[in-house]
Structure 1
Amino acid sequence: MELRSSSPEASREALTSLITRRYRIAGPNETVQLMGDYLKILQLEEPLKKLSVIHVAGTKGKGSTCAFSESILRACGYKTGLFTSPHLVDVRERFRFNGTEVSETLFQEYFWWCWDRLQEGCTSSLPMPSYFRFLTLLAFKMFTSEKIDVAILEVGLGGKYDPTNVIETPDVCGITSLGFDHMEILGHTLPEIAGEKAGILKPGVSAYTSPQREDAMAVLQARAADLSIPLQVVHPLADTGNLELGLKGDHQLVNAALAVSLCKHWIKKSGIDEAMGNDDLPDAFKTGLASAQLLGRAQIERDLENLMLYLDGAHSPESMEVCGNWFSKAVKSSRQKTPKQIMVFNCMPERDPAILFPSLLNACHGQGVRIDKAVFVSNSHGTPTSDLKWQRYLQKCWDSLQSPAAGRDEFCNPVATQEEGEEAVSTTEYSMVIPSPGVALNFLRRLARSCPSFSVNVLVTGSLHLVGDVLNLLKR
């Protein structure tokens, strides 16, 4: 394969041109037909049939489950490929070989190989694939070319009509915890959402699921029965105290357990199961669980001596509760003398802050942790800084849930902050609106420096895009 001479910026610009405002989900005819046509153009139909795949759908924890699965199988000595979404800093994060994101050189090589052939083969009646479809096709090309032992694929959205579901015979399927997310696309009831997720189940392919609410489980079981396949419910790993997980939070015991079951099934199906031995949790599995990593999920970064950032891309009511519990326990376990908590938040307008905020607040209050101030920002590549109506609405919702009897003090209560001509707007006793993550981070740094006796704990949440923006700022 020839290496096309091109800068990273050129490939990113070409990729961005595929972004549309249409929802990524589509009807069955469109998904099957388009993906089939694209696979023919790229001559990936036969290579894809030979690819060994673990396919994972769900609402909460599917990225973590995939990360655990990849890390376990890598620790067992297998060559792994991992495809997840979204990326937080760079698109190459979505493609990992043996735990390492694809190199820029390989990315460029495979990107332009796919791009040129699709440009040549697409017509007015067959347009270039949309953003996520292209990335899925790119993952298929990478994984079939690099001769890996197993590919772990995370569903992008839903399951039934997701581009990854073009895989006809995965080795095993997993469904993580289900909840209310993307309801405008997947349905407004949990059974409707479960039906979309169950779309990845295939005839002759065993499936595993985390515990679900009764009405959601009934849908999954009915689908499995229609296909005459086993569906096994996997209960959380026991928290023995000596089991160290690379991804933090009590909720990860659920995801880790599902990953263990998926990996055990895959290893047995491959016919090479020496790595498992007779233990319920072999040493290689423990090693894999301990070394698993995933950006933006329960991630802690120290920025200054007294400024800690806690980053988690929670964006559903259930994940916000999990995030609040993790953040509170992490802050309390650090045994800081005078801790102060600030939340930096943004979410998509499709989400309901009147549901998200109580889930977070109740979890924090239950642990005895108070958020002293909320800072609402736009995504640096999202809402223009000149239009902060959504952030003002978030602020209004947040303030309405606060109690005057909470005993707030004057910490983090300036009238405004100014940085490079931009200033905070709509400051209240409980919250602030700041135009961008960069301005917010600079404000937090000045605050921490001006209050050296305080330990400033900043929870960044509500959106993986926001978490990615902040991680990018820290990287710079």
Structure 2
Amino acid sequence: MFYNKILLEQEDEDESSARYQNALDALSSLITKRSLFVNKNQSHRFHLLFHYLEVLELEEAVSQLKIIHVAGTKGKGSTCTFSESILRGYGLRTGLFTSPHLIDVRERFRLNGIEISQEKFVDYFWCCFHKLKEKSSNEIPMPTYFCFLALLAFKIFSTEQVDVVILEVGLGGRYDATNVIQKPVVCGVTSLGYDHMEILGHTLAEIAAEKAGIFKSGVPAFTVPQPDEAMRVLNEKASKLEVNLQVVKPLDSSQRLGLQGEHQYLNASLAVALCSTFLQKIGIEDKNDDTNGLPERFISGLSNAYLMGRAMIVPDSELPEEIVFYLDGAHSPESMEACATWFSQQVKERNKKRSEQILLFNCMSVRDPCLLLPRLRTKCIDEGVEFKKAVFVPNMSVYNQVGSWSKIEQRVDDSITWQFGLKRLWDNLARGEAKTTSRSDSKEEERSLVFSSLPLAVDWLRDSARRSQQVRFQVLVTGSLHLVGDLLRLIKK
């Protein structure tokens, strides 16, 4: 009897896994190359969202949701995470929608701080997928990947009857799928910079105009200090819509935060402003703590916030004493500097044993590595940290597949050519510094490596650590959230 019970449980588990994989395969069918998203298509695709809401019978449900909407270039995920943690501390049932995911797509949908279960995800997924598929046509195709995920979030959060939805914009703002909402409670814009320029524009003014697209008439909004060019546009857009736009200052650094890095004090301050306004709007008042001017539940929420893949420190699963990974999904010039500052501080604080710093890097081809690698390298050197080696490696995850890359055949293609381009850039930077400092080093070319896969790079790290038992390797993994997610998936197997 006991053996039969185990068999039945295993069969149920296998069936559940198969159903989940089938849902992921169907979701993968909605992915299109970003090159298809030229500006002339954005408006049309955006307006299709209202049709999709009608098909899913979500128009009324979405209009009833109480939403905090957050756009920006850097810090969106952190700000949303801080906000969710604070509001959950008030006993509110929270729904958090963020992107991208690192390991599992369910990370994007969190109920009370916990990613949605496989069973619920599958049920909600097929409910939406089948309804939309039934009504699709040549004129009205199935929604694209992110649009579907946003619609799925609305379905999940409305059915689960959450008290608050914290909604992170995917890309831009004006034509983002999340912007189908008509009346959020409050909006936030995090730090702006140069990213996704092929879609959002090549100046800060153009980028700011897209981000300000989430402003709604009469809905209060907050932002952080911005470059003058961006701030001017945000103020103009806010004025036209009679939006009360306020600029927050960083929290005092004495406040303990669950997310590391100096830049997080600005994100936390924005979250405090968003949550304070939200609570006031729904009629919840709270007294400030005499010590630092924040309510106790704000202090607790900020200190307990957790976001995977941002300023994250993970010892290697095989050699935890010899290899420590420092993970940060920075992928814009400004976030590269913040990442370098955080990593350098960690190196200084944790160097009780002889250590060598290794860079494990990749960035997507839509990014300009000439804007990323110099900022990272220069900031680290300014902080007194120099990489012993830089390792360049392709991501394992692929753009058109959701799920485990363990099922995907190894690809050695154009991405290797891209890695060698990154290597040349790094070597040129090193040679330039050697000339500037009159330093002659015949081995400078050997300071960077390219591997055809992430597992090979990790094997090299482990072999090197075993040969150098007196040295701890501090490995900074950055440039791409996909790379960070791939590494986490690999070392946690």
TM bin (shorter chain): over 0.9
**Distance across 2 between alignment mates of 1:264 and 1:460:** 35
Contact (CA 8 Å) 2:286, 2:295: kept in 1 or not?
no
Alignment map for 1:38-187 (pairs within 5 Å)? 38-187=52-201
Structure 1 residue 337, shift from structure 2 partner: 2.6
**Distance across 1 between alignment mates of 2:277 and 2:181:** 18
- Is the counterpart of residue 308 in structure 1 residue 324 in structure 2? yes
- Is the counterpart of residue 439 in structure 1 residue 491 in structure 2? no
**Distance across 1 between alignment mates of 2:20 and 2:438:** 50
Letter in 1 for 2:345: K
Alignment map for 1:419-434 (pairs within 5 Å)? 428-434=445-451
Question: Cα 1:307–1:406, aligned 2, differ >3 Å: closer, same or farther?
Answer: farther
Structure 1 residue 366, shift from structure 2 partner: 1.6
Structure 1 residue 286, shift from structure 2 partner: 0.8
**Distance across 1 between alignment mates of 2:43 and 2:459:** 49
Contact (CA 8 Å) 2:314, 2:325: kept in 1 or not?
yes
User: CA-to-partner distance for each residue in 1:263-310, whole Å, 9 max, x for gaps?
Assistant: 000000001224768873111011111111111100000112111000
SS in 2 for 1:460: strand
Contact (CA 8 Å) 2:68, 2:184: kept in 1 or not?
yes
**Distance across 2 between alignment mates of 1:124 and 1:436:** 39
- Is the counterpart of residue 373 in structure 1 residue 411 in structure 2? no
Structure 1 match to 2:8: none
SS in 2 for 1:256: helix
**Distance across 2 between alignment mates of 1:431 and 1:275:** 54
Structure 2 match to 1:267: 279
TM-score (norm 1): 0.92
Structure 2 match to 1:211: 225
Structure 1 residue 335, shift from structure 2 partner: 2.7
SS in 1 for 2:124: helix
Question: Cα 1:113–1:471, aligned 2, differ >3 Å: closer, same or farther?
Answer: same
- Is the counterpart of residue 394 in structure 1 residue 422 in structure 2? yes
Contact (CA 8 Å) 1:336, 1:455: kept in 2 or not?
no
Structure 2 match to 1:459: 476
Q: Which of 302, 307, 310 does residue 294 from structure 1 map onto?
A: 307
**Distance across 2 between alignment mates of 1:25 and 1:137:** 22
Gaps of 5+ in 2: 1-14, 399-409
More moved, 275-284 vs 94-103 = 275-284
Structure 1 residue 385, shift from structure 2 partner: 2.0
More moved, 207-216 vs 20-29 = 20-29
Structure 1 residue 450, shift from structure 2 partner: 1.4
**Distance across 2 between alignment mates of 1:362 and 1:253:** 23
**Distance across 2 between alignment mates of 1:468 and 1:212:** 30
Contact (CA 8 Å) 1:24, 1:157: kept in 2 or not?
no
User: CA-to-partner distance for each residue in 1:366-405, whole Å, 9 max, x for gaps?
Assistant: 2101111000000113493243110000000000000446
SS in 2 for 1:82: strand
Structure 1 match to 2:264: 252
Contact (CA 8 Å) 1:301, 1:309: kept in 2 or not?
yes
User: CA-to-partner distance for each residue in 1:68-98, whole Å, 9 max, x for gaps?
Assistant: 0000101122110000000010000000011
Question: Cα 1:128–1:276, aligned 2, differ >3 Å: closer, same or farther?
Answer: farther
Structure 1 residue 233, shift from structure 2 partner: 0.1
**Distance across 1 between alignment mates of 2:240 and 2:438:** 54
**Distance across 2 between alignment mates of 1:380 and 1:32:** 31
**Distance across 2 between alignment mates of 1:435 and 1:271:** 56
Letter in 2 for 1:459: L
**Distance across 2 between alignment mates of 1:250 and 1:407:** 33
**Distance across 2 between alignment mates of 1:149 and 1:108:** 23
Greater fraction helix: 2
Contact (CA 8 Å) 1:247, 1:294: kept in 2 or not?
yes
Question: Cα 1:157–1:24, aligned 2, differ >3 Å: closer, same or farther?
Answer: farther
SS in 1 for 2:122: helix
**Distance across 2 between alignment mates of 1:32 and 1:52:** 21
**Distance across 2 between alignment mates of 1:443 and 1:449:** 10
**Distance across 2 between alignment mates of 1:71 and 1:150:** 12
TM-score (norm 2): 0.89
Structure 1 match to 2:12: none
- Is the counterpart of residue 470 in structure 1 residue 487 in structure 2? yes
**Distance across 2 between alignment mates of 1:261 and 1:56:** 12
Q: Which of 318, 321, 336 does residue 352 from structure 2 map onto?
A: 336
**Distance across 2 between alignment mates of 1:291 and 1:385:** 41
Question: Cα 1:138–1:406, aligned 2, differ >3 Å: closer, same or farther?
Answer: farther
Question: Cα 1:48–1:163, aligned 2, differ >3 Å: closer, same or farther?
Answer: same
Contact (CA 8 Å) 2:259, 2:306: kept in 1 or not?
yes
Q: How many residues align?
A: 456
Structure 1 residue 347, shift from structure 2 partner: 0.4
Letter in 1 for 2:81: A
Contact (CA 8 Å) 1:275, 1:284: kept in 2 or not?
no
**Distance across 2 between alignment mates of 1:398 and 1:450:** 26
Letter in 2 for 1:347: C
Q: Indicate the RMSD between aligned Cα atoms, in angstroms.
A: 2.0
Letter in 1 for 2:454: P
Question: Cα 1:212–1:340, aligned 2, differ >3 Å: closer, same or farther?
Answer: same
Gaps of 5+ in 1: 414-426
Structure 2 match to 1:423: none
**Distance across 1 between alignment mates of 2:467 and 2:175:** 52
- Is the counterpart of residue 15 in structure 1 residue 27 in structure 2? yes
Contact (CA 8 Å) 2:289, 2:296: kept in 1 or not?
no
**Distance across 2 between alignment mates of 1:381 and 1:473:** 11
